[in-house]
Structures are given as structure tokens and as C-alpha cells.
Amino acid sequence: MTMEYKSNYEKVTEDWKKRFLDMDQERLIERFQLNHDGQWLYLRYLGQQLKLSRTSGKVLFADREEIPEFDTVITVYNMFYYAKEHPAASGELVPFRLVKRVYPFERAYQKQILEPFARVFSGHVKELREACEKLGGTKLPQGDAGYRIPVYPYFDMAVLFWDRDDEFEAQGNMLFDSNITDFVHEENVVCIAADAVRYLSRAAGLEEMKIYAG
């Protein structure tokens, strides 16, 4: 990531910290059923335990000394800001192209998310299965590896993977709750997909795919 991009990400993050601190935190706790104490709000995201400082607005991992990447941070802030008053998951998982309002991002999603996903797990079906289970996934019948994974406690996504063979290269796909954009901004759907590849590759013990979708 270039210094210019890093600076832009830092500026956006700082702006969202301030916006978060202007939010009614008691209302957020009630709406999103957040665990909390006097210092932190706690949230689980793609198998990761996160915490948000109630005084600085920082988003951190709750269980390790590491700063989350931009896509994770912005998706948390954006959910609190953009979620409808009473969002509800449909439970129906659909391809990216059928998610409301995401069509401008479909090409980037294919090139920046699905192609790296297929590439990193080519020849590593066992590792992908184990990684999905580490992220709280439940097995699906589709693909050589198919799992339904909680994004937040409120809605799920699915990852589907077919390994390479003598005729075809490895292929991957992702499905999303059809109401996902009732919880997050449409741009965040790509961020969530990028984070899924990142956390799955890490959990699998493979090269961590750091995709900056935000």
C-alpha cells in the first residue's frame, strides 16, 4: 500500500472515529445487542473478536495485540451508521450480483476477491475446510468446500470452492444474505468479502491475502 493510500485510509478512519463518538452508544448497545463495559463495546465479526473504545473510537482486536485492517474497521463503523432502524436478515443467501445496489462493484469483486480466493486455496481444500470451521462455519453440500459463516451475529455469508482438476482451474464463489445492505453500505459488501479471504487464508496457515477493498 503506497504512502498516499495509507494516508487516505488513515484520514477516513479518523473521520469515522469522530462520527462514532457522536453516536448514542447506549442506543447502539440496545440495537445491536452489544456486550459492553465502561471502556469498550464488543462485537464478533467473521470469527474475530473486536472491541471499540468508548472514549477514542478505536477499533481493535479484543484477543490480540494487532490493529485490524481498514476493511474491518470501516465495516464496523458503517454498520452502526448505515443500518436500517430495524434490519432483519432474510436467511436467503444469494450471489453478489443479486445483492441490492452492488452492481457498480461487481467487476472489482470478481477481480480483486474471487480470483485471489480461488488462487490461494487451489490445492488446499483441507486447509479451507478447517479455516471455515475456525471462523464458525457450518458445512454446506455445494462444492469441494462449502460453508455458511456468520459475518456478524445478525447475518451470514457462504463461501463455496471447487478445486482445480485436469480440465479446470480452481473456482470460488461467495453468497450473501439478500438483506445484507439493510445492515451495511453496499460498498461494505466487497469489504466483507475481502475480509473473508483474509481471515480464511490466515486461519488456514497459508499466505495471508491482504485485499484492500475499501
Which positions ≥6 away from 129 have C-beta within 8 Å? 139, 145, 147
Claim to verify: residue 72 and residue 107 sit in the same structural domain? no
Claim to verify: residue 123 and residue 175 sit in the same structural domain? yes
H or E stretch including 94? Answer: strand 93-95
Claim to verify: residue 117 and residue 197 sit in the same structural domain? yes
Read off the pTM: 0.93
CB atoms within 10 A of CB 163: 19
The pLDDT of residue 208 is 78
Claim to verify: residue 100 and residue 183 sit in the same structural domain? yes
**Domain tally, the chain:** 2
What residue numbers bound the domain in which 60 lies? 3-82
pLDDT digits (tens, 9 = 90+) for 129-148: 999 999 999 999 999 999 99
> Domain boundary at 37, 63, 82, which?
82
Mean pLDDT for 73-101 is 96
pLDDT digits (tens, 9 = 90+) for 168-187: 999 999 999 999 999 999 99
The pLDDT of residue 45 is 98
> Does residue 213 fall inside a structural domain?
no
> Domain boundary at 82, 102, 126, which?
82
> Domain boundary at 50, 82, 114, which?
82
**pLDDT band at residue 30 under the 50/70/90 scheme:** very high
Cell of 54: 468508548
Measuring CA to CA, which residue among 15, 18, 45, 40 is closest to residue 29? Answer: 40
Q: To which residue does cell 468479502 refer? A: 193
